[in-house]
Amino acid sequence: MTPLAPTAAPHAWLARQSRWSWFEVVFWLATLLPFFLFPTYLTLASQVAIAALFAISVDLILGYAGIVTLGHALFFGLGAYTVGLLSARLGWGEPISGLLLAGAVAGLVGFVASYLIVRVQHLALIMVTLGLGFLAYELANAMTWLTGGTDGLRGVSMWQIVGTFRFDLWGYTAYTYSLIVLFLGFLVSRTIVNSSFGLALRGIRENVTRMPAIGSDHSWHLRKIYTISAALAGVAGGLLTQTTNTVGLDVLSFQRSADVVVMLILGGTGRLYGAILGAIIFLVARDQLAGVNPQYWYFWIGLLLMVVVLFMPKGILGFLAKLTGRRD
Amino acid sequence: MSNLVIVLFDGFAFGMLLFVLSVGLSVTLGMMNFINLAHGAFGMLGGYVTVLVMRQLGLPFIVALPAAFLAAAALSIVIERTLFRRLYRAGELNQVLFTIGIVFVATAVATYFFGTVQQPIRLPAWLRGTVEIGGIRFGTYRLFLIAIALAITALLVFGIERTRLGAQIRAAVDNQRVAQGLGLNVEQIFGITFALGSGLAGLGGALAIEIVGLDPSFAFHYLVYVLIVVSVGGLGSITGSFVGAALLGIGDVAGKYFVPEIGSFLIYLILVAVLLWRPLGLFGRR
Amino acid sequence: MKTKMMFATILAAGLSWSVHAGAQETVKIGVILPYSGPFADAANQLQAGIDLYIAKHGSEVAGKTIELVKKDTGGPAPDVAQRLAQELVVRDGVDIIAGFALTPEALGAAPIATEAQKLMVVMNAATSIVVEQSDYIVRTGVTIPQLNTAFGQWAFESGVKEAYTLVADYGPGHDAEKAFAAGFTEAGGTIVGADRTPVANPDFSAFVQRVRDANPEAVYIFVPGGAQPAAIGKALSDRGLAPPDTKIFAQGELTHPEALESMGDTAKGIITTYHYSLERDDPLNNEFREAYREANGGRSPDLFSIGGYDGMHLIYEALKKTEGDTSGDALIEAAKGMAWDSPRGPMSIDPETRDVVQTVYIREVQEVDGELQNVIIHEIPDVKDPLHGTQ
């Protein structure tokens, strides 16, 4: 990351940062292409959108605040189970309120966990997040009476969105819905990172000891962004339950925590779009490679990761930005 | 009483297996801050070399162990020279991504050559069964594991404290830049340490077959255990890894014995509690 | 219901082009399995069973060519299985979905089978409830209660009055614990203790020591296949828990060939319940076993292989009966009540529940010609899943 150049008018700089470029407009228009070009890939597209939202939530803490996590599936899974239990145990399948509740539950737990997170750094930080993730997984497994255990929760059934749109087999509704939620989540995140709060976070990432010296309460900032990130991850998890009508223990798995970090680094951290691009590339590559060879697809994914690191050390988006001569 | 002894013994033996698997990562991470998530893959390599040596060449288990060590060490030198060396200054995220890529590739290669099946080995008769001491039956193989781990610890501690290479390694772990400034070739020292550590992982993989089995998911599965030992023990500390591994092994087995309801939580609870209490691990200094 | 019907009509209309676009004369079967990840071995063995059946019987049936489309779930992920099933139907235009080594996979895909009205052949996933999730599901593998309730009864009748259960802490383990205990206690036995081991459990010594302390007459064990059977087997013998002093009962995974090789003589006397016995001397089985070994580099078939093999048999026979009609309704009708001789022995599909009905074999590990084998000591014919209709 190149250090940000000092500026005489920080608010003007922030305003400039938050202006929409035509890159972005084109990008979001392109997300509509699957409807026309790949109508049989809409279910995959909705899963990509969900993974992208999850990756954005991780980018907020990893890319902007320097919190490396290997346990974010904890919040994803909380959201997924919140929506699932609401439907399977209480018979409430209304999607939008379900999502909000998923975000609220995950955010609340994230807020509590954030007190632990800000106490540790580096390897200890990674391992505490990993430990919390595993604890959540084992807890969900132990509470089989509530969660359905490894078999998954049965009896999840979503109502129509705003009473009109049914989740269909082709995935039209699922993709439209996921895309809208992704876009809203992105807007929130974009506003945050381009605010003075976002700037303070980057300051913490670059030099954690200097921030208190300029009067910035860094642990409060970290707790705040961690809570927001957890809530966003919870929304992504809830979305997965709603679009698939299933919840299994795998929503909490270490594999999911690791995959999302891989997607994010692959796309490029600290750019939001890197999270989306990483999710697209990882999942589409996985789908296509697994289609060709279901047994050995991960060989090629592994190779892809190695090549990206060797030739594009700032992720794919960082590489593209360099090619087009744009700065961060 | 005898129950307590046997539970402690079994837990300690399991911990010693974790120690052999993870000590190399602790030292290399402590020295170069190089996050090598592919450490478990070297363990897996050691395991498969053992299977090959015993089955294809028909050599005894005791010969297969050094072969596993050498194979993992040799391959790690090649990979360190050609690939890892480029990544020392690439930042931890890139190291994570790259080494996870290696785990994926290693898993696929293992599946291709050996299939997904479990690879059983037949231990020699003198390692099977149990030995009765004071009315308590101890597993012979577990005694053997403990003996090997203690021997390795003794060698490492002696090597680090008393030899020239050991002094260089200590200097490089304490402060890489100053060591470099004093004319030490830190990269070369690191290469040697790295090979040693990977070799030990290979040996650990070979020793692990009898206790936990071997299949292509080994590299990924045991990564988590290895990381827990390293972070609880503290980076760059052999004593730390030893104590951390023993603590986890005993905690795991004793927890499952006395409170089986929370047996699967216990190692993660220990992990989180220790790190919140001492973020650098039990014996970490930086 | 009305929306469902309407939707099915739209779907049928939408699908008609994809079916026509594919060659008229193929039957596409989507196979959903965990080809990668920790359960890859199960997928491998099951796929080998499918492949062997096709190799042996040709890929033509009822004038149509069988074509497989394989999809990888990577493990017990119901959301992934659901998406893959959906894609198989809308993108690949498959006629039948099959595979399903793990229960969560089957549970994830079941709603799609209902909605798209496709035959769904569950070749392994062994939880009782699986077949109840859709009217289009038929199972050719096994169910855990089927094996273990009968086994519990037999265990009591064989003279054991007290047993301790030790099962893996996940769905199948819980099922096995419940089923064995039900059979055993109904017959008059007592369960003196029950422990559950974490699914990814590397070291069993603590649990085995707990069993040792209780010093029961017998211990019943259920662990997933893979690394765990050998690990727990060795832990048992290290602690001196071995037949004939302590009887060891288990589901067949415990004594699969690789585990026997690793356990050695300490495995002698372990008694297991299974629906497929590798060494059962029967012309069909001998032929199956040898052909399988030849095609798979000497590897022996297991429960996954036989589930896949018989699953293909069911699909072939059902297609012959419908004369190539691939509609889900026609195929499921054809499958109901079907009976045949499999390498595992006689088996049939219960017309009521669409679940597998088969012989349960009780086997004991013995040395035969210098090799350890699971020798059949008792057979219980025509066993149904005892849980259907009771829940």
The string of DSSP codes covering A168-226 is: -TT-HHHHHHHHHHHHHHHHHHHHHHTSHHHHHHHHHHH-TTHHHHTT--HHHHHHHHH
Q: Which of C79, C102, C128 is nearest to A248 (CA)?
A: C79
Query: pLDDT tens across B87-138, in order?
Result: 888 888 888 889 999 999 999 999 999 988 888 888 888 888 888 888 888 8
CA-CA distance, C127 to C142, in Å (whole number)? 9
- Cβ-Cβ contacts under 8 Å between B and C: the total is 107
Q: What is the pLDDT of residue C390?
A: 57
Which residues in chain C are closer than 8 Å to A152, comparing Cβ atoms?
76, 78, 104, 107-108
Q: Do B260 and C207 touch (CB under 8 A)?
A: yes
Which of A212, A237, A230, A244 lies closest to A107, judged by CA?
A230
C22 touches chain A (CB under 8 A): no
C79 and A40 in contact by Cβ < 8 A?
A: no
Confidence of residue C317 (pLDDT cuts 50, 70, 90): very high
Structure tokens that stand for C124 in this block: 């392994």
> Considering CB atoms only, which of C41, C43, C240 is closest to B117?
C41
Q: Which of B87, B91, B231 sits opposite A123 (nearest CB)?
A: B231
Note whether C53 and C313 are within 8 A (CB).
yes
Q: Which domains are seen in chain C, by residue range? A: 2-142+284-354 (3.40.50.2300), 145-274+360-383 (3.40.50.2300)
Centroid of chain to Cα C338:
18
Residues of C in contact with B129 (CB under 8 A): 237-238
Averaged pLDDT of chain C: 88
Confidence of residue C356 (pLDDT cuts 50, 70, 90): very high
Give the chain C residue whose CA is nearest to the CA of B108.
Answer: C36
pLDDT tens digits for C139-154? Answer: 999 999 999 999 999 9
Domain positions in chain B are: 2-217
Q: Are C130 and C137 in contact (CB under 8 A)?
A: yes
For chain A, the domains span 38-323
Contact A295 C82 (CB under 8 A): no
Q: Which residues of B touch A308 (CB under 8 A)?
A: 97
User: Mapped to the 3 state alphabet, what secondary structure does B217-265 carry?
Assistant: CHHHHHHHHHHHHHHHHCCCCHHHHHHHHHHHHHHHHHHHHHCHHHCCC
A290:C90 CB<8 A: no
Q: Which residue of C has its CA nearest to A42?
A: C87
* Residues in chain C within 8 Å Cβ distance of A172: none
Would the CB atoms of A138 and B97 count as touching at under 8 Å? no
Does B212 contact chain C (CB < 8 Å)? yes
Binding partners of A (≥3 Cβ pairs within 8 A):
B, C
CB contact under 8 A, C75 and A294: no
Q: How far is CA C21 from CA A34, B236, C16, C25, C91, in A?
A: 21, 63, 8, 11, 11
* Distance in Å, alpha carbon of B199 to nearest chain C alpha carbon: 22
Cβ–Cβ gap C205/B111 under 8 Å: no
pLDDT digits (tens, 9 = 90+) for C154-193: 999 999 999 999 998 888 898 999 999 999 999 999 999 9
Token code pair at residue C234: 């060795």
Strands C356-368 and C271-274: antiparallel
Q: Are strands C190-197 and C162-168 parallel, antiparallel or unpaired?
A: parallel
For the segment B70-81, the average pLDDT, to the nearest whole number, is 94
Query: What value does the mean pLDDT take over residues B73-85?
Result: 91
Architecture of the domain defined by A38-323: Orthogonal Bundle (1.10)
Distance from C-alpha of C315 to C-alpha of C281, rounded to nearest angstrom: 26
C15 pLDDT band (50/70/90 cuts)?
very low
Cα B55 from Cα B59, distance rounded (Å): 8
Question: Is A150 in Cβ contact with C199 (below 8 Å)?
Answer: yes
Select from B271, B280, B282 the residue whose CB has the most chain A CBs within 10 Å, as the one to mutate to test that interface. B271
Identify the pLDDT of residue C389.
63
Q: Please report which residue ranges of chain B form alpha helices under DSSP H.
A: 2-32, 39-55, 61-82, 92-114, 140-162, 164-174, 176-181, 186-212, 218-233, 238-258, 266-277
Interface probe with B: pick from A64, A123, A298, most Cβ of B within 10 Å: A123
Name chain B contacts of A63, Cβ cutoff 8 Å. Answer: none
pLDDT of A158: 85
Task: Give the minimum alpha-carbon distance from A81 to chain B in angstroms, rounded to a whole number.
Answer: 20
Q: Are C162 and C189 in contact (CB under 8 A)?
A: yes
Chain C nearest CA to B222, separation (Å): 10
pLDDT class of B235 with cuts at 50, 70, 90: confident
Return the closest-CA partner of residue C144 out of C103, C170, C195, C179.
Answer: C179
C276-305 tens-digit pLDDT: 999 899 999 999 999 999 999 889 999 999
Q: Which residues of C touch B253 (CB under 8 A)?
A: 203, 205-206
Task: Identify the residue with better confidence: C24 or B6.
Answer: B6
- A151 → closest Cβ in C116, C127, C199: C127
Contact C227 B252 (CB under 8 A): no
Token pair, residue C55, equals 């190799």
Which of A121, A298, A305 faces B97 most closely, judged by CB atoms? A305
For residue C12, what pLDDT is reported?
45
Q: Which of B25, B34, B103, B105 to mutate to test the interface with A (most CBs of A within 10 A)?
A: B105
Torsion of the alpha carbons at A6, A11, A14 and A18, rounded to the nearest 10: -160
**Chain A contact present for C135, CB below 8 A:** no
Residue B32 has pLDDT above 80, yes or no: no
The pLDDT mean for chain B works out to 88
Residue found by looking up tokens 């974010």 in the block: A72
**CB contact at 8 A, B27 and B39:** no
Percent of chain B with pLDDT over 90: 43
pTM for the full model? 0.89
Interface of B with C in 131-190 (CB under 8 A): 137, 139, 142
Q: Give the three-state DSSP class for A33.
A: helix
Distance (Å, whole) CA C184 – CA C216:
14
Query: Which of A144, A246, A293 to mutate to probe the C interface, most C CBs <10 Å?
Result: A246
The answer, for C83 touching chain A at a CB cutoff of 8 Å, is yes
* Cis bond upstream, residue C244 (ω within 30): yes
Contacts with B90 from chain A: Cβ below 8 Å: 309, 313
Minimum distance, in Å, between the CA of residue A127 and any CA atom of chain C: 19
What Å distances lie between residue A160 and A86, A92, A94, A174, B256, CA to CA?
15, 12, 7, 11, 46
Distance in Å, alpha carbon of B8 to nearest chain C alpha carbon:
10
Is C83–A169 a contact, with Cβ atoms under 8 angstroms apart? no
For chain A of 328 residues, list the mean pLDDT of each consecutive stretch of 10.
Answer: 57 77 89 88 93 96 90 96 93 92 96 92 89 93 85 84 78 92 95 84 75 73 93 96 90 92 91 93 91 88 91 85 68
Q: CA angle at residue C26 from C20 to C32, to 5 degrees?
A: 100
Sequence-ordered list of residues with C-beta below 8 angstroms from that of A53, at least 6 positions apart, any chain: A178, A181, A182, A185, A186, A232, A235, A236, A239
| Residue-wise pLDDT tens digits, C110-137 | 999 999 999 999 999 988 889 999 999 9
Is C78 within 8 Å of A152 when comparing Cβ atoms? Answer: yes
- The two three-digit tokens of residue B170, written as one number: 């200590």
Percentage of residues of chain C with pLDDT beyond 70: 93
Task: Give the up-direction half-sphere exposure of residue C102: CA atoms within 13 A in the CB hemisphere.
Answer: 33
Token pair belonging to B108: 């696929």
Residue-wise pLDDT for C224-251, tens only, equals: 887 888 888 888 888 888 888 899 999 9
A47 in contact with chain C, both atoms CB, cutoff 8 A: yes
Contact of A74 with chain B, judged by CB distance below 8 Å, is answered with no
Closest CA to C358 of C77, C142, C156, C84: C142
Q: Do B272 and A124 touch (CB under 8 A)?
A: no
Contacts of C76 in chain A (CB under 8 A): 150, 152, 248-250
Residues of chain C with C-beta less than 8 angstroms from the C-beta of B11: 205-206
Residues of C in contact with A150 (CB under 8 A): 76, 103-104, 170-171, 199
What is the C-alpha separation between C176 and C146, in angstroms, rounded?
9
Tens digit of each residue's pLDDT (9 = 90 or more) over C82-119: 999 999 998 899 999 999 999 999 999 999 999 999 99
Q: Tell which phi-psi region holds residue B205, choosing left (phi > 0), alpha (psi between -120 and 50) or beta.
A: alpha
Q: Write the DSSP assignment of B263-284 as a string of letters.
A: TTTHHHHHHHHHHHH-TT-SS-
The neighbours of chain B, by the rule of 3 or more Cβ pairs under 8 Å, are: A, C
| Interface test with chain A among B275, B280, B282, B285, by most A beta carbons within 10 Å | B275
Q: Give B-chain residues touching A120 at CB under 8 angstroms.
A: 275-276, 279
| CB-closest option in B3, B122, B264 to C198 | B264
